[in-house]
A = this chain, B = another copy of it.
């Protein structure tokens, strides 16, 4: 780990902090002050950044690279909660809650992390009410998302996959002659983990969707032929 001189803020660190949605409305000077308190870590791929159960004394912001947040179940199975990229905060909720880290974090690629303290963040929101509002809104959205995750886990795997593809198709689908084309952007084994299952079961789920005629699968590229059918299989939420 490298300690940065407060007087010299790395441009990539400043940019990443500026991009972080937790304090989007904060002033430039507040972010700079914040950035100058950061401790920057450049880590190779596969580095354990923090371990579940440790006291949560600090939090991070991803400056570059990808970071995986996951839980190791008692039987050794790994549940991936999320994969973080530039500008995303790492374990900020644990640090704010003041307890212990509820999950592990490790780098998936070579990555740079800026580490900050809970108190620095409290100072920031005390000084800038707009930032407090950003932070509260973001935390509230996380809770809502977790609620959705719990609900999704009640669905079977094909439905979870359908819901995932539906969201991806709407958010990042490229129109093509036969339908919306989605690039998974990760190995299917990775997707399986993100959906809370294993590659074999995911493979069968893809086969089901293919046989139902709602998607075509070509390696990592998936063509959604029937968006509405996909939404139905994913149990509703056609709205919006």
A residues lining the B interface (CB < 8 Å) = 53, 71, 73-74, 77, 79, 81, 92-99, 102-103, 122, 125-126, 129, 132-133, 135-137, 139-144, 146-151, 153-155, 196, 235-236, 239
A93 adjacent to B143 (CB under 8 Å): yes
B133 adjacent to A122 (CB under 8 Å): yes
Report whether over half of chain A's contact residues are helix, strand or loop; otherwise say mixed.
helix
Q: What is the total number of copies of this protein in its complex?
A: 2
Kindly list chain B residues whose C-beta atoms are within 8 Å of the C-beta of A102. 144, 147-148, 151
Kindly list chain B residues whose C-beta atoms are within 8 Å of the C-beta of A94. 140, 144
CA distance A148 to B144 in the complex (A): 15
| Cβ distance A73 to chain B, nearest Cβ, rounded Å | 5
| CB nearest neighbor in B for A71 | B151
Q: A97-B141, A99-B144, A137-B98 are in contact. Are A73 and B154 (CB under 8 A)?
A: yes
